[in-house]
Amino acid sequence: MKTLAQTLLADDDRRDALIANCVALIEQQVAARGPIRRLALSAGIGLLNAVKPGALQRAVSALLPDFADALDPLYRQFQQSQSTDFSRFIDEHSAVATHALIGVTDRRMQASGNAAVRAAYARLRSTAENEVRAALPGLGRILDQRLKSDALGPRRRG
């Protein structure tokens, strides 16, 4: 049985498309925030891009395998369930999914050698759980579409 990472990141084209979808989701989430929050989030992303142009895409690319691994237990539960919509399944398990994704970024930031990136993350961390939870429906739709586009994706095996 394939893991979520093996299914989603099977080849460079699939991976690149998923990265582009995730970056677009992040940009949509930022744009949907109120003016003060949008400014804070935009400043954080701007700082990342100032340190390294294209940093958001690189960050998504670097985090994607760990995010997929973190969501894999939910994916396995989904495969064993009667559900056919991974987006809905993630939404029903939003607390678990949120905790799994935040755990990935927390561990990465603790290990980061870049003080500017760590400082930017520390400023945004207090609201990260709410931001991730707000993005989960969009992320779930992206993942569900990707899984359904793979002939082996959401079918239950075994």
> Is pLDDT above 80 for 51?
no
> Residue 81: how many CB atoms within 10 A of its CB?
12
> Is pLDDT above 60 for 152?
no
With bands split at pLDDT 50, 70 and 90, how would you rate the model's confidence at 153?
very low
DSSP 8-state code for residue 2: -
pLDDT in tens, 62-86: 999 999 999 999 999 999 999 999 9
Q: Which amino acid is at 122?
A: A
Distance separating alpha carbons of residues 105 and 100, to the nearest angstrom: 9
pLDDT in tens, 8-25: 998 899 999 999 999 999
The separation between CA 136 and the C-alpha centre of its own chain, rounded to angstroms, equals: 8
Rounded to an integer, the average pLDDT of 112-139 is 88
Three-class DSSP category at 150: coil
Length of the chain (residues): 158
pLDDT given for residue 158 in this prediction: 38
pLDDT given for residue 123 in this prediction: 82
Instruction: Provide the residue ranges of all domains of the chain, joining segments of one domain with +.
Output: 4-149
**On the CB side of 51, how many CA atoms lie within 13 Å of its CA?**
17
Q: ∠ at Cα 107 (143, 51), nearest 5°?
A: 85
Rounded to 10°, the helix 94-111/128-149 angle is: 110
